[in-house]
């Protein structure tokens, strides 16, 4: 098992918005639109490095599975999002198998296409909630999203070179 995603797995989520967050950071963390598009405003090219794409059992995604309908298998996608080849964000998507039908089957075949390109082009996207978290000095967030009412969990961690940290504290 690779360790590239370990800071993301160490995220601790808050029940309410943490006080120490300034408006600029909150603006990044609560962004409802595509993070890929936001990153594109800060570099010339955003690319996806796949860490892992596979079906997994519940024990490999216990935290997310607790927030999703029970499923025998979950589609797991772990990526590093880079701005001009510099790692900016870790992303982990967990999709119960029951979500993977109809147009949502495309989630299984994303490869190097950023997830947001798919999600935000879908008119059926809704968000149940978002939780902000931190892992040492790094910020992240976890969202339960729905496509045509079918849920998935997306967790993202902003790496030290991410433009978020260039904003004033």
Whole-angstrom CA distances from 60 to 64, 75, 121 are 9, 11, 29
Q: What are 8's two structure tokens? A: 């993301």
The C-alpha atoms of residue 17 and residue 124 are separated, in whole angstroms, by 27
Q: Is 104 in the site for ligand PHB (CB under 6 A)?
A: no
Contacts of 56 (CB under 8 A, 6+ apart): 73, 74, 76
Single residue of 8, 21, 48, 145 touching ligand PHB by CB under 6 A:
48
Q: What are 156's two structure tokens? A: 């993202």
Q: Is 116 in the site for ligand PHB (CB under 6 A)?
A: yes
Q: Is 156 in the site for ligand PHB (CB under 6 A)?
A: yes
**CA 121 to centroid of chain Cα atoms:** 16
The stretch near ligand PHB (CB under 6 A) out of 10-18, 64-72, 110-118, 134-142 is: 110-118
**Angle CA(155)–CA(160)–CA(165) in degrees, nearest 5?**
95
The stretch near ligand PHB (CB under 6 A) out of 6-14, 18-26, 111-119, 142-150 is: 111-119
Single residue of 65, 89, 134, 145 touching ligand PHB by CB under 6 A:
89
**Angle CA(26)–CA(28)–CA(34) in degrees, nearest 5?**
140
Single residue of 81, 95, 152, 157 touching ligand PHB by CB under 6 A:
81
Q: Is 35 in the site for ligand PHB (CB under 6 A)?
A: yes
Single residue of 79, 145, 153, 159 touching ligand PHB by CB under 6 A:
79
Q: Site residues (CB under 6 A) for ligand PHB?
A: 35-36, 48, 77, 79, 81, 89, 91, 93, 114-116, 156
């Amino acid at each position: 098992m690779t360790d590239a995603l370990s800071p993301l797995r160490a995220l601790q989520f808050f029940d309410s918005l943490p006080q120490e967050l300034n408006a600029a950071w909150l603006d990044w963390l609560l962004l409802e639109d595509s993070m890929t598009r936001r990153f594109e405003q800060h570099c010339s090219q955003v690319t996806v490095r796949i860490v892992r794409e596979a079906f997994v059992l519940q024990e490999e995604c216990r935290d997310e599975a607790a927030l999703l309908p029970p499923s025998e298998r979950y589609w797991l996608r772990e990526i590093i999002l880079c701005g001009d080849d510099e790692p900016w964000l870790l992303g982990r998507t967990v999709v119960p198998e029951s979500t993977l039908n109809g147009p949502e089957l495309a989630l299984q075949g994303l490869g190097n296409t950023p997830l947001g390109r798919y999600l935000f082009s879908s008119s059926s996207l809704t968000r149940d909630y978002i939780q902000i978290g931190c892992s040492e000095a790094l910020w992240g967030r976890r969202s339960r999203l729905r496509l045509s009412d079918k849920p998935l969990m997306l967790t993202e961690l902003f790496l030290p070179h991410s433009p978020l940290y260039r904003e004033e504290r």
